[in-house]
Amino acid sequence: MIEKLAEIERKYDELSQLLSDPEVIADQGAWQKYAKSQAGLTEIVEAFREYKDTEQELTETQAMLSEKLDPDFKEMAEEEQKALQLRKVDLEERLKILLLPKDPNDEKNVIMEIRAGTGGEEAALFAGDLYKMYSRYAEKQGWHIELLSASYTDIGGFKEIIFLIEGQGAFSKLKFESGAHRVQRVPATESGGRIHTSAATVAVLPEAEEVDVNINPNDVRLDIFCSSGPGGQSVNTTQSAVRVTHIPTGIVVSCQDEKSQLKNKDKAMRVLRARVLEKAQEEQMGEVASVRRSQVGSGDRSERIRTYNFPQGRVTDHRIGLTLHRLETVLLGDLEEIINALITSDQAERLKSES
């Protein structure tokens, strides 16, 4: 591990020299490329340097303890030694995590799709609750949200809603949210006061740039139609709604939220690129499916991952056995504890498989 870290540090120093080279500074494209590479190494290099400093301090403290010391001074040195040993162990664990292979999608923006599942209107209302929860979480992170497509129900829920979340590390934090989310509560549509169980599915896709996935224009069929609103009433008498079909994969995306046909097409193509990339990655992951299933989650939207129980005011993530008795704050976007626990669990599983 130390040899690998030393090599990373050497690479970091080489990049630092390049970034101060006048020829590189004059070439902004090259400078930005090197700056991005260096930024990706900064955290691990800083942790490694702290580790080396801690080792040096520990060596000096141990050498001091081998000498004859005043009892009070010796006690202080022994306390310092214990603190340094604990810091060294913590840094070793952190460095192991930082050396784990990075998910190439972690820094990408997110396209999130929420669909009502079993439960009729109640499931559609729950889909709306999930949309609000993720929107509030995104706002707390300082991320930007853009609605791409929505299919409403008569009482204000969503049959389906697709939206973009733009922000640093958005995918790294939200990627474990894919799956089936279940709600247990008395529906607003239920007069008898009986508790119902409904569900909505969430898919978290990394936003794909044109360089990430090559879509041949000849492979896309474009259909134009009039958009409609809740309950099916016409909201637009001009043909601005767009449906794009990727013929090789059969993936279909519709978008009708903008009055402009061009804007709807642009949004539909962004979703299409993300879905085509997801399909390609799923095929690649087929070879290591057993490894993926052993981690926090496969990303399969049919996998039940979480239950929101209103009568008991609790949220349970079934993959890691985490239960929080603060449903209200979670639905207000306080997801940090759940997300951090999922990331930690995934890191632990990957460390286990690496050892």
* Tens-digit pLDDT profile for residues 148-168: 888 888 888 899 999 999 998
On the question of pLDDT at 259 being above 50, the answer is yes
Report helix angle 28-65 to 2-19, nearest 10.
140
Residue 103 lies in a domain: no
Say if residue 57 is in the same domain as residue 14.
yes
Say if residue 124 is in the same domain as residue 164.
yes
The answer to whether the beta carbons of residues 106 and 171 sit under 8 Å apart is yes
Residues 252, 263: Cα–Cα separation, whole Å: 17
The pLDDT tens digits of the residues spanning 181-195 come to 999 998 876 766 788
Residue 76 lies in a domain: yes
Kindly provide the b/e burial profile for residues 68-93, where b requires at least 16 CB atoms within 10 angstroms of the residue's own CB: eeeeeeeeebeebbeebeebbeebee
Q: Is 247 exposed, middle or buried (0-12, 13-18, 19+ CB in 10 A)?
A: exposed
pLDDT value of position 223: 78
Residue 354 lies in a domain: no
Residue 105 lies in a domain: no
Say if residue 205 is in the same domain as residue 263.
yes
Among the candidates 70, 98, 126, a domain finishes at 98
Cα 174 from chain centroid (whole Å)? 3
Report phi then psi at 45, rounded to 5.
-70, -40
The answer to whether the beta carbons of residues 284 and 291 sit under 8 Å apart is no
Q: Considering only CA atoms, which of 298, 326, 329 is closest in space to residue 312?
A: 326
The CATH number that applies at residue 147 is 3.30.70.1660
Residues 153, 253: Cα–Cα separation, whole Å: 19
Kindly provide the b/e burial profile for residues 10-49, where b requires at least 16 CB atoms within 10 angstroms of the residue's own CB: eebeebeebeeeeebeeeeeebeebeeebeebeebbebbe
Say if residue 316 is in the same domain as residue 168.
yes
**Structure tokens that stand for 145 in this block:** 């949200």
pLDDT value of position 88: 92
200: part of which helix (H) or strand (E)? strand 196-206
Q: 263 pLDDT band (50/70/90 cuts)? A: confident
Say if residue 182 is in the same domain as residue 258.
yes
pLDDT value of position 188: 74
The answer to whether the beta carbons of residues 45 and 8 sit under 8 Å apart is yes
pLDDT value of position 298: 45
On the question of pLDDT at 179 being above 70, the answer is yes
The pLDDT tens digits of the residues spanning 50-100 come to 999 999 999 999 988 888 778 888 888 889 999 999 999 999 888 888 887
Q: 290 pLDDT band (50/70/90 cuts)? A: very low
pLDDT value of position 247: 84
Say if residue 93 is in the same domain as residue 149.
no
On the question of pLDDT at 338 being above 90, the answer is yes
Among the candidates 71, 98, 125, a domain finishes at 98
Residue 355 lies in a domain: no
pLDDT value of position 100: 78
Which residue range(s) make up the domain with 135? 110-284+297-349
On the question of pLDDT at 299 being above 60, the answer is no
**Structure tokens that stand for 49 in this block:** 């340097």
Report phi then psi at 300, rounded to 5.
-70, 125
Q: 326 pLDDT band (50/70/90 cuts)? A: very high
On the question of pLDDT at 236 being above 60, the answer is no
Residue 228 lies in a domain: yes
Say if residue 50 is in the same domain as residue 140.
no
Number of domains in the chain: 2
Q: Considering only CA atoms, which of 293, 298, 316 is closest in space to residue 182?
A: 316
Say if residue 180 is in the same domain as residue 200.
yes
Among the candidates 41, 63, 98, a domain finishes at 98
DSSP 67: S
On the question of pLDDT at 355 being above 80, the answer is no
Say if residue 247 is in the same domain as residue 161.
yes
Residues 264, 187: Cα–Cα separation, whole Å: 34
Residues 338, 315: Cα–Cα separation, whole Å: 10
pLDDT value of position 292: 39
State what percent of residues in the chain have pLDDT above 70: 88
On the question of pLDDT at 32 being above 70, the answer is yes
pLDDT higher at 259 or 341: 341
Residue 289 lies in a domain: no
* The dihedral formed by the CA atoms of 134, 135, 139 and 142, expressed in degrees to the nearest 10: 70
Type of residue found at 187: P
Which residues touch 224 (CB under 8 Å, ≥6 apart)?
239, 240, 241, 242, 243, 261
Kindly provide the b/e burial profile for residues 318-334, where b requires at least 16 CB atoms within 10 angstroms of the residue's own CB: ebbeeebeebeebbebb
Say if residue 71 is in the same domain as residue 195.
no
The predicted model scores a pTM of 0.69
Say if residue 159 is in the same domain as residue 268.
yes
Say if residue 303 is in the same domain as residue 280.
yes
pLDDT value of position 293: 42
pLDDT value of position 237: 52
Residue 291 lies in a domain: no
111 bridge partner residues: 164, 205
